[in-house]
Amino acid sequence: MIYRSLLRPILFRLPAETAHGLALASLSFSSTLTKKLAGDRYRRSPFGKLRRFGLTFDNPVGLAAGFDKDGVALSSLAGLGFGFIEAGTVTYHPQSGNKRPRLFRLPLDKALINRAGFNNQGAADFVKRVSLNKPDCVLGVSIGKSKTVDLENAVDDYLKSFELVYPVADYIAVNVSSPNTARLRELQQADQLDALLQALQTLNDKLAMKSGRSALLPLLVKLSPDLETDELAEIVQVAQRHQVAGLIATNTTTKRAGLRTNANKVAALGDGGLSGAPLRPQAAKAIATLYNLTRGTLPIIGVGGIFDANDAWELIAAGASLIQVYTGFIYEGPSIAKDINEGLRRIISREGFVSFDEAVGCRAAEYANKSS
């Protein structure tokens, strides 16, 4: 409440990336404070602990990739009640990303447009920082392709990042869906994805033997919302062939349809991925399609346009068994994880389900057939 009436108006007067930097810097100094503010029950799930791909989650609400790319504020963010955090996307080579400005708010649409371009200090730097300061929740690490590496050499580049982040990650997310790195999304094509996942899982297996792990580290793939059903079907086959632990749906969209913000104004902002409320129907449809294609056997992390518990419920009913927020966190503030968890408890019992897991995918058929 204080956030929306007091802090947000101040932050929203600043350029979007300046506000983000300020928020992240304050968080990086205040890990004990966030926990104190939230109280000792800060992360308790209303549904008990959730088991997903071999990991135990305190609650189903996560922070999506891209918010803390370099892992500078993970403990504070965990203190805000997130059940998990996906840090990164990191690349093997440190890189500065696209020219600023590259992040824009569309308040009328509760949306953002960004073309950050994987600005990060590199996977090695990330690991040094995070190994000294692991958050006390599940930590996913998202890896992407370095800008200076051609698509033809992408597999090797991903392998190098994978090996570096392996010791600090509870799961690794392969980002092949950001629209802000040239040609990256071509890696979602079945033959390219097949080669990438084959190489990553071979390394995963080798590292498991070396470190004495009894199983592969969960490897997830993050997908674009702009894929057609037949493309999703091919991806599911490839993912299953390589024992992928789960899918993350979705990244930002390059579409601009149905926005309230003046079309000329939107066009003037230029290229980038759109996130926030307008993305939710597209994300719900992708999630439901994936849920149906896998008959609910592959966990899906639902992300796109979640601002409150009703939005989260939409993606859970479509088939997501965990959810993430990014744009909603910017608009709604630090209590978003707690608020969504409390709201979900009410919704799920109102809908007559006895457990969280029973509710997952209950409306997948409906959402898969909706036009987004």
Q: Which residues are catalytic?
A: 178
227 binds ligand FMN (CB under 6 A): no
Helix/strand/coil (H, E, C) string of the chain? CHHHHHHHHHHCCCCHHHHHHHHHHHHHCCHHHHHHHHCCCCCCCCCCCEEECCEEECCCEEECCCCCCCCCCHHHHHHCCCCEEEEEEECCCCECCCCCCCEEEEHHHCEEEECCCCCECCHHHHHHHHHCCCCCCEEEEEECCCCCCCHHHHHHHHHHHHHHHCCCCCEEEEECCCCCCCCHHHHHCHHHHHHHHHHHHHHHHHHHHHHCCCCCCCEEEEECCCCCHHHHHHHHHHHHHCCCCEEEECCCECCCCCCCCCHHHHHHHCCCEEEEHHHHHHHHHHHHHHHHHHCCCCCEEEECCCCCHHHHHHHHHHCCCEEEECHHHHHHCCCHHHHHHHHHHHHHHHCCCCCHHHHCCCCHHHHHHCCC
Q: Residue 357 and residue 315: Cα distance in Å, rounded?
A: 13
Smallest gap from Cβ 329 to ligand FMN, in A, equals 7
Judged by CB under 6 A, the stretch of 42-50, 206-214, 273-281, 353-361 that binds ligand FMN is 273-281
Residue closer to ligand FMN (CB basis): 35 or 325:
325
Positions in 302-321 near ligand FMN (CB under 6 A): 303-306
Judged by CB under 6 A, the stretch of 64-72, 230-238, 337-345, 363-371 that binds ligand FMN is 64-72
Closest Cα partner for 8 from 254, 260, 307, 281? Answer: 307
Which string of b and e fits 141-175 if b means at least 16 CB within 10 Å? bbbbbbbebeeeebbebbbbbbbbbbebbbbbbbb
Q: According to CB under 6 A, which one of 188, 251, 294, 341 is a site residue for ligand FMN? A: 251
The residue of the chain with the least Cβ separation from ligand FMN equals: 66
Q: According to CB under 6 A, which one of 276, 299, 302, 333 is a site residue for ligand FMN? A: 276
Q: Are strands 138-143 and 171-175 parallel, antiparallel or unpaired?
A: parallel
98 binds ligand FMN (CB under 6 A): no
Q: According to CB under 6 A, which one of 53, 126, 158, 326 is a site residue for ligand FMN? A: 326
Q: According to CB under 6 A, which one of 27, 50, 61, 65 is a site residue for ligand FMN? A: 65
Q: According to CB under 6 A, which one of 19, 50, 80, 112 is a site residue for ligand FMN? A: 112
Per-residue mark of binding to ligand FMN, 155-184 (x: CB under 6 A): --------------------x--x------
Smallest gap from Cβ 17 to ligand FMN, in A, equals 8
Q: According to CB under 6 A, which one of 28, 91, 275, 289 is a site residue for ligand FMN? A: 275
Number of residues located near ligand FMN, criterion CB under 6 A: 27
272 binds ligand FMN (CB under 6 A): no
Given a contact cutoff of 8 angstroms between Cβ atoms, the answer to whether 251 and 226 are in contact is no
Judged by CB under 6 A, the stretch of 32-40, 111-119, 287-295, 360-368 that binds ligand FMN is 111-119
Q: Residue 14 and residue 324: Cα distance in Å, rounded?
A: 25
224 binds ligand FMN (CB under 6 A): no
Positions in 190-219 near ligand FMN (CB under 6 A): none
Smallest gap from Cβ 163 to ligand FMN, in A, equals 19
Residue closer to ligand FMN (CB basis): 301 or 364:
301
62 binds ligand FMN (CB under 6 A): no
Residue closer to ligand FMN (CB basis): 151 or 208:
151
66 binds ligand FMN (CB under 6 A): yes
Smallest gap from Cβ 8 to ligand FMN, in A, equals 16
Which parts of this chain interact with ligand FMN (CB under 6 A)? 64-66, 69, 89, 103, 112, 114, 116, 118, 142, 175, 178, 222, 251-252, 275-276, 279, 303-306, 325-328
